[in-house]
Chains A and B, each alone.
Chain A
Amino acid sequence: MSLLETKGLKAYADKKEIVKGVTLSVQPGEVHVIMGQNGSGKSTLLNALAGHPKYHVEGSATFEGNDLFAMKPHERARAGLFLAFQSPNEVSGVTLSAFLRRAYVARFGKEVSVAEFEKIMNEKMRLLGMDRAFAERGVNEGFSGGEKKRSEILQLAVLEPKLAMLDELDSGLDVDALAKIAETIALIRKPETSIIIVTHYARILKNLPCDRVHVMRDGKIIASGKGELAGRLEEKGYGWIANAAADVG
């Protein structure tokens, strides 16, 4: 069974159709990359899957066979869906560690003591080479762009989702920082963890092998292919794919 299966998924914001029928199938352990220019609907697709209340959805989506659209956002998260946000919100006055503990309890449905959770989180932070003091700051409060990404990755590491959706993880990061984050994702990832990456650039794929590449344009997937597609896109630009869409397979 597919982990995620969408059929003719449409997403509207204020009655404006942004995602115009996307059919996608993600198997356990697969890495998918969705590329496309600004405004092509990639981020909206991820947000709609995560249950953002701004979007009205049509079509179908299942997660491990369950109707995703019948689930509230927190239920999707508890089931193992995770969205790493492009620009995550601040929650001032709430420490990252306190927030993460609540999220952990919600995700795994069991209480953990502060001390137990401390162990779990510290181990992940060590793995990610993060300073423990970082977790005592307010969630995204006064974080730099890079710190926000690292915070998202830490959350990903602690919550161990079945499907991680990474929205423009590379925006605002330099090549080295991006390489580091890609490495850490590879490091914390379990073999059965599936990933959907939304990006403008193929460069993250240098550090993260991918199974499928999709190109989105005007709310639709106009081409899908193997990893090499990303490389060719990087080289030739999106104009090329628009013309050659039908040929890549």
Chain B
Amino acid sequence: MDETILKEYGRDALLRDAPTDDAVLHVGRKAQHTGLTIDIVKEISEVKGEPDWMREKRLESFRIFESKPVPTWGPDLSQLDFASIVGFVRPKGKENVQPNKWEEVPDEIKDTFERLGIPEAERKFLAGASVQYDSEVLYKSLRKSMTDLGVIFTDMDSAVRDYPEIVKKYFMNKCVPASDNKFAALHGAFWSGGSFVYVPAGVKVPMPLQIYFMMNYPGFGQFEHTLIIAEEGAQVQYIEGCSAPHYTKDSMHAAVVEIFAHKESRVRYTSIQNWSTNVYNLNTKRAVVYEDAVMEWVGGTLGSKVTMLYPCSMLMGRGARAEHLNIAVAGAGQVKDNGAKVFHMASDTSSKIVSKSICKEGGVVRYRGKLFVAKNALRVKSNVRCDTIIVDSKSKAETVPVMDIRSKDAVIGHEASVGRISEEQLFYLMSRGIDAEEALSLVVRGFIEPIVKELPLEYAVEMNRLIEMEMEGSVG
């Protein structure tokens, strides 16, 4: 397949003042390269016109990527073929613009949008067929109010160009260095797109910053980088949605998210990922949380073939707090290996982890958590709660909590429950006129409610609908 599509949603959705042709989609020929080679790394840097330091960072990352073995401690990644992954899709000039046709969007995706009740204009945008005209004004005015506050919300590529001093200081440096793991290194070499958020000291961003990522090319490797910096006393909420149409070739998503929550700041990062079921979703997400700052992770992981995702909070300053809330659903052929990591490096730090998993039709969910308390971190509190619903006997759930507690007075709570949806419970609902499928979906919705209620309304609605769609056909 020769045709290529570039979607840089950060730019399209957030930066443009008015829709123009070349900001829509870039479609051309012979612009993509299969395989992940050093030549492609160089080319990416060149095409983007990056400064030397970023080019060096990419090349160093690539060396680390090559030197590290594929991790074997988690899910089976032996089917992941790096050589077939398309590392970069080059934008073409205006003359080659040939927007994707809405008609060409797979029915499965159209159907998803239909049932989510997303308006057609928006659907076209989400499917990569059009830009989101309707929201332009909103973004524009949002951007104006942001600018007045000194807030920066832009795509990562522009940030490298426009805010080099900030990016250079934070980008894959202290938080997620390329040496962190093989996929972070891969990301460091091939990253493209993503969001950059900077909130100056004392500024409270009045509404959530939102972005939607879409993987739109078969066999594509998506490596978007998100960097969020909240200065002292700042407050910000960031929300991203992700999805991909189902292509025949396996794809890979290896994102890195780096968050810096400085003293007394408050950051909430929300992500709803609904990848198609042949995507390897291998992310590294981490926050560095300083004195009296609060970091909140809210996540929903649906879809994908294999997900490895363990958002991490490094509680570096006294009184720092972290909250991790996650919902994971694993269906046929899917492995969700996810959880949370919290490092209590200072006294009076506290954390709360709530994980809700659902597995069905042979899906595997695994909660993998790590809790570390440093020797000199006193009065640490942490509470972990993992609940799992196993819908049928083919499916599997596991919990792998690792705790390394080195201080003397840490108060740690861990609760886990694994339940099956009982015949009695479904019968109770059915005896009130609710059919079997709806009864199951109602039980599941109730189960995830503690996390869904933390989502903004439109995301809560989307989450519930996604879950409902996931649960369809689960009862005989």
Contact = CB atoms under 8 A, between A and B. Distances in A.
A82 B428 CA distance: 11
B449 A77 contact: no
Interface in B417-448: 422-425, 427-436, 438-439, 442-443, 445-448
Given A53-B423, A54-B423, A102-B438, A93 B446 contact: yes
A106 interface: yes
Contact of A89 (B428, B436, B450): B428
Nearest to B439: A74
Contacts of A82: 431
Q: Which residue of B422, B433, B434, B446 has the most chain A CB atoms within 10 A of its CB atom?
A: B433
A93 to B, nearest CB: 3
Interface string B204-233: 000000000000000000000000000000
A102 B427 contact: no
27 contacts: A50-B431, A51-B431, A52-B427, A54-B423, A72-B430, A73-B427, A74-B430, A74-B431, A74-B432, A74-B435, A74-B436, A76-B431, A77-B432, A83-B431, A85-B431, A89-B428, A91-B428, A91-B429, A92-B447, A93-B447, A94-B446, A94-B449, A99-B432, A99-B442, A103-B433, A155-B432, A159-B433
Contacts of A83: 431
Chain A: number of interface residues, binned into ranges: 20 to 34
Interface string A191-216: 00000000000000000000000000
B449 A93 contact: yes
A184 to B, nearest CB: 19
A88 interface: yes
Nearest to B429: A91
A56 interface: no
Interface string A63-76: 00000000011101
A138 B442 CA distance: 12
A150 interface: no
A93 B450 contact: yes
Contacts of B443: 91, 94
Nearest to A77: B433
B423 A106 contact: no
Contacts of B438: 102
- Which 7 residue pairs spanning A and B have beta carbons closest together? A93-B446, A106-B433, A93-B449, A77-B433, A103-B432, A94-B446, A73-B430
A103 B428 contact: no
B424 A51 contact: no
A226 interface: no
A155 B191 CA distance: 56
Contact of B430 (A51, A93, A107, A159): A51
A94 B445 contact: yes
Contacts of B446: 91-94, 138-139
A159 B429 CA distance: 13
B113 to A, nearest CB: 23
A78 interface: yes
A106 B431 CA distance: 11
Contact of B432 (A52, A54, A159): A159
B430 A88 contact: no
Contact of B425 (A73, A89, A106): A89
Contacts of B430: 51, 72-74, 77
A107 B429 CA distance: 12
Contacts of A139: 446
Contacts of A92: 446-447, 449
A52 B429 CA distance: 11
A96 to B, nearest CB: 11
Interface string B294-336: 0000000000000000000000000000000000000000000
Q: Which residue of B429, B436, B443, B449 has the most chain A CB atoms within 10 A of its CB atom?
A: B429
B432 A53 contact: no
Contacts of A54: 423
A73 B423 CA distance: 12
A74 B434 contact: yes
Contacts of A77: 430-433
B434 A89 contact: no
Interface in A97-149: 99, 102-103, 106-107, 138-139
B204 to A, nearest CB: 31
Contact of B433 (A74, A89, A91, A138): A74
A94 B449 CA distance: 8
Contacts of A107: 432-433
Contacts of A155: 432
Contacts of B427: 50-53, 73
Contacts of B431: 50-51, 73-74, 76-77, 82-83, 85
B425 A102 contact: no
Contacts of A50: 427, 431
Contact of B422 (A74, A89, A93): A89
Given A74-B432, A76-B431, A159-B432, 4 more contacts: A74-B431, A89-B424, A91-B446, A93-B450
Given A53-B423, A73-B427, A91 B434 contact: no
A78 B433 contact: yes
A93 B448 CA distance: 8
Q: Which residue of A50, A53, A83, A91 has the most chain B CB atoms within 10 A of its CB atom?
A: A91
A97 to B, nearest CB: 13
A229 B423 CA distance: 37
Nearest to B435: A74
B442 A102 contact: yes
A223 B188 CA distance: 82
Nearest to B446: A93
A73 B433 CA distance: 7
A50 B430 CA distance: 9
Contacts of B445: 93-94
Given A72-B430, A102-B442, A138-B446, A91 B435 contact: no
